[in-house]
């Protein structure tokens, strides 16, 4: 299974753009790079998913280089409510998810 | 529409007791997953159902853990002879290939074994 490596924690301030980079050197060819967000005492919530290049939705952007060995989640103009743990993982529809330790993002006023 | 629900939200039990945790997936989702999450760590896979059958139970830590999904909808995770090390958040997720395969998680059941 692909192992992912991401920063344990990050701090930011309201209104800033936050970029969280994840390394996944051994991601499977048929896996999508997927990011989940988790608030305390809640289950993880899907944020965004991509295979190559760039994907953007109403919440975030995901940048994936051609070699797919890393990816960067970009959160524009974060607010206090974006304080959460963010998980990067390789995922294939129908298969179980393998979570790492995630990145704890703290947004300060 | 309704999301994944789990009951109870909290369960406190004594070492050696038997517990059942329930998961109601999103209606129509054929796949159902159980995960366990310890404090400060990411969720760990336990078991995956496709319909009524367990397609992958490789994550169950030992034979004290068992899960069923008899009608392909609601699932129950059963833990026998609970141990203090079983204390964790137990998460359930469901997915459907018709909905992109994304897994939708419930709020979890916090199990505490005294």
From A47, which residue of chain B is nearest by alpha-carbon distance?
B102
Instruction: Collect all residues from B whose CB is shorter than 8 A from any CB in A.
Output: 4, 31, 33, 35, 40-45, 48, 50, 56, 59, 89, 91-93, 95, 97, 100-108, 110
Mean pLDDT of B22-43: 95
CB atoms within 10 A of CB B17: 13
How close B41 gets to chain A, by Cα (Å)?
5
Of B31, B56, B102, Cβ closest to residue A46: B102
Report how far residue A6's alpha carbon sits from residue A72's, in angstroms, rounded to the nearest whole number. Answer: 10
B69: its two tokens: 């999904």
pLDDT at position B97 over 90: no
pLDDT at position B38 over 80: yes
Report which DSSP code applies to A13: E
From A36, which residue of chain B is nearest by alpha-carbon distance?
B103
pLDDT at B1: 55
What is the tens place of the pLDDT at every residue in A50-109? 999 899 999 999 999 999 999 999 999 999 999 999 999 988 877 888 898 899 999 999
What is the tens place of the pLDDT at every residue in A8-24? 999 999 999 999 999 99
From B96, which residue of chain A is nearest by alpha-carbon distance?
A94
pLDDT band, very low/low/confident/very high, at A26 (cuts 50, 70, 90): confident
Which positions in chain B touch A95 (Cβ < 8 Å)? 48
pLDDT band, very low/low/confident/very high, at A2 (cuts 50, 70, 90): low
Q: Do B97 and A93 touch (CB under 8 A)?
A: yes
pLDDT at position B93 over 90: yes
Q: Do A46 and B103 touch (CB under 8 A)?
A: yes
Contact A63, A75 (CB under 8 A): no
Of A41, A87, A94, Cβ closest to residue B101: A94
B82: its two tokens: 């609970």
In whole angstroms, how large is the CA radius of gyration of chain B? 13
């Amino acid at each position: 299974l692909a192992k992912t490596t991401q920063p344990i924690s990050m701090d930011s301030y309201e209104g800033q753009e936050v970029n969280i980079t994840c390394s996944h050197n051994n991601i499977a060819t048929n896996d999508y790079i997927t990011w989940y967000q988790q608030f305390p005492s809640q289950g993880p919530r899907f944020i965004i998913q991509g295979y190559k290049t760039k994907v953007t939705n109403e919440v975030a952007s995901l940048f994936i280089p051609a070699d797919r060995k890393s990816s960067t989640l970009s959160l524009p103009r974060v607010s206090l409510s974006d304080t959460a743990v963010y998980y990067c993982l390789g995922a294939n529809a129908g298969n179980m998810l393998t979570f790492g330790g995630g990145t704890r993002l703290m947004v300060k006023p | 529409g309704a999301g994944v629900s789990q009951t109870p939200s909290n369960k406190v039990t004594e070492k050696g007791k038997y517990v059942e945790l329930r998961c109601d997936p999103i209606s129509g989702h054929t796949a159902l997953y159980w995960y366990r999450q310890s404090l400060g760590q990411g969720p760990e896979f336990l078991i995956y159902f496709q319909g009524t059958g367990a397609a992958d139970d490789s994550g169950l830590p030992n034979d004290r853990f068992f899960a069923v999904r008899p009608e392909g909808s609601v699932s129950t995770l059963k833990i026998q002879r609970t141990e203090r090390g079983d204390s964790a958040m137990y998460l359930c997720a469901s997915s459907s290939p018709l909905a992109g395969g994304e897994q939708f998680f419930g709020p979890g059941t916090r199990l505490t074994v005294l």
